[in-house]
Amino acid sequence: MHGEYKVPGGKLVVVDLDVLDGVIANFRLAGDFFLEPDSALEAIDRAVNGLPETADGATIAKAVRGALPADAALLGFSPEAVGVTVRRALARATSWSDYDWQLVHSKAVPPVTHLALDEVLANEVGAGRRKPTLRIWEWDQNAVVIGSFQSVKNEVDPEGAAKYGFDVVRRISGGGAMMMEKGSIVTYSLYVPAELVQGMTFAESYAYLDEWAIEALRSLGVDAVYVPLNDIASSKGKIGGAAQKRFGNGAVLHHVTMSYDMDGQKMVEVLRIGREKLSDKGIASAAKRVDPLRSQTGLSRAEIIERMKQTFTSMYGATPGDITADEYAQAEKLVAEKFSTPEWLNRVP
């Protein structure tokens, strides 16, 4: 069995192994990481050999850590990364290079249609009718998008939303509310087979699926980092957040919204960010919590998106694609039957 794992912000870890009578055998670790002393490589191999094939990532990492010499130095990877890679090998996980990726950056549609398209396109990938896809969102309306399990009344101030022209819609993934002002955010969705993140915890899969976006931001001079569980940030503050939804047909939806240009005062009027408990100083702090990409790059939103598309394409070999007429039709049906209905919006009052 063969497994690979690119450590977010680090190096590639590669393992090859056999399973004989329920235990790991002939284990070999490789990669472009740095490891001192040389003998530590053999120590890691010995530590993994003989472990049961059912060992989880934490158990494997513990065995590796316990076998390392006291003076061992691991750069670009960790015992936990070895554990992830072994689990990916045992689960026969795939890698980015195993797929022909499509990159979709199509016409503007209403926010509620975007939410429906997320469900449709993920299901199409799960059914094998669509290649794994990165989709960049475009829209010309304002919306507050709340998480699947959030309470409308707890998250949104109806007077503030009406004042600034924000509709309220609910997505199918969990996580927090996002104030999505037209022209002021960068949002993308990934529709991938579950095999791509096999062997990873939810937390590990978040960082793994957004590694390309971190690289794109860094190439623009943003000191971007991933902050578990699901935030993209820099030394100047939070940039954006991610959310996921796993489908029964083997598809994973992973989507991210990053702030390009944020009116902090407007945000605290539209969203309920515990304003009853905040002093004037606290409100100012809340208003500064999301730091826009515009201030960190000096570039237009279009230029940032173009760099992101270039980065994804160069890393994974994506080709341009589009949404089909049938997929749009499925999305509009979902809008009418689900996403625009009071029952869906108020499923958690």
The CATH number for 26's domain is 3.30.390.50
Output 10 or 349, whichever has higher pLDDT.
Answer: 10
Residue ending a domain, choose from 43, 67, 90: 90
Q: Are residues 54 and 141 in the same domain?
A: no
Of 196, 216, 207, nearest in space to 131 by CA: 196
Looking at the fold, whether 210 and 328 belong to one and the same domain comes out as yes
Average pLDDT over residues 291-316: 96
Total tally of structural domains belonging to the chain? 2
> What average pLDDT does the chain have?
94
Q: What CATH number does residue 227 fall under? A: 3.30.930.10
Q: What is the mean pLDDT of residues 113-123?
A: 98
Q: What is the pLDDT of residues 59-79, one digit of tens each?
A: 999 999 999 999 999 999 999
Average pLDDT rounded to a whole number, residues 267-277: 75
Tell me the pTM: 0.93
Q: 30 and 10 share a domain?
A: yes
For residue 59, give Cα distances in angstroms to 8, 28, 38, 63, 203: 21, 18, 23, 6, 17
Whether 14 and 161 map to the same domain: the answer is: no
The answer to whether 116 and 137 are in contact (CB under 8 A) is no
Indicate whether 150 and 58 sit together in one domain. Answer: no
Range of the domain at 8: 2-90
pLDDT band at 293 (very low <50, low <70, confident <90, very high): very high
Q: Give the tens place of pLDDT for each residue, 173-203.
A: 999 999 999 999 999 999 999 999 999 998 8
**220 and 274 inside one domain:** yes
| Residues 287 and 155 occupy one common structural domain | yes
With a CB cutoff of 8 Å and minimum separation 6, the contacts of 302 are: none
Please check whether residues 42 and 74 belong to one and the same domain.
Answer: yes
Cα 288 from chain centre: 23
Are 116 and 211 within one domain? yes
- Claim to verify: residue 139 and residue 169 sit in the same structural domain: yes
Do residues 179 and 166 make contact, with C-beta atoms less than 8 angstroms apart? Answer: yes
Using the predicted structure, report yes or no on whether residue 80 has a pLDDT greater than 80: yes
Q: What is the pLDDT of residues 120-159, one digit of tens each?
A: 999 999 999 999 999 999 999 999 999 999 999 999 999 9
Residue 278 has pLDDT above 50, yes or no: no
Q: What is the pLDDT of residue 140?
A: 93
Q: Domain boundary residue among 70, 90, 110?
A: 90
Q: Using 50, 70 and 90 to split pLDDT, how confident is the model at 280? A: very low
